[in-house]
Amino acid sequence: MRGFYPGRFQPFHGGHRRFVERIADEVDEVVVGVGSAQASHTGRNPFTAGERVTMAHRALADLETTTYVVSIEDVGQHALWPAHVRTQCPRFEVVYTNNPMVERVCEEDGLDVSGVELIDRDRYNGTDVRRRMVEGDTWRDRVPEATVDVVEEVDGVKRLRRVVEHGQHSVDGSGDDSH
């Protein structure tokens, strides 16, 4: 049996790693779905799919359970998401999520959904990790070493600060509207 664990993994942190360990006890193989694969360079989605795949792949390399790290571009329509995911992933039997929307559309699609028990949420929280990066707080102890490596390789903290700094600007229509 395979389990599917979707997330944005911005970035892949210690809670994600621990959760994969847990579901690895319940299923034969794990499919980690890196969602919003087309997004990057925003405050909420600073890292590219390639960077996130690298983080997850390396951070899970020592697991004995076979793990697929698959990127999934947004399909733009909630109701098509489950069908889209099925085309992009190895066949799976159960979805692990505690996102109510994911849960709902998967259930309407006939998929089995299993709740995700949050692990040490105060410590492992993507929004908080990004805030720490922006504000210069400690964050390295909350993510796997692989994530630290990738973030440093791409100068990710600087990137995140720049995109957050002037969040009102968009690169598309890249103008300085205030000029």
Among positive and negative, which fits the CA dihedral 116, 121, 124, 126? Answer: positive
Q: Give the integer Cα–Cα distance in Å for 48 and 10.
A: 9
Footprint (CB under 8 A) of a second copy, residues 12-71: 15-16, 19, 33, 35-42, 44-45, 48-51, 53-54, 57, 61, 66, 68-71
Q: Is 160 left (phi over 0), alpha (psi -120 to 50) or beta?
A: alpha
Size of the site for a second copy (CB under 8 A): 88
Helix axes 156-165, 126-135, angle to 10 degrees: 90
- Smallest distance, a second copy to C-beta of residue 118, A: 6
Footprint (CB under 8 A) of a second copy, residues 67-106: 68-71, 73-84, 86-91, 97-105
Phi, psi values for residue 45, rounded to 5°: -130, 70
- Smallest distance, a second copy to C-beta of residue 140, A: 19
Footprint (CB under 8 A) of a second copy, residues 132-171: 153-154, 159, 162-163, 165-166, 169-171
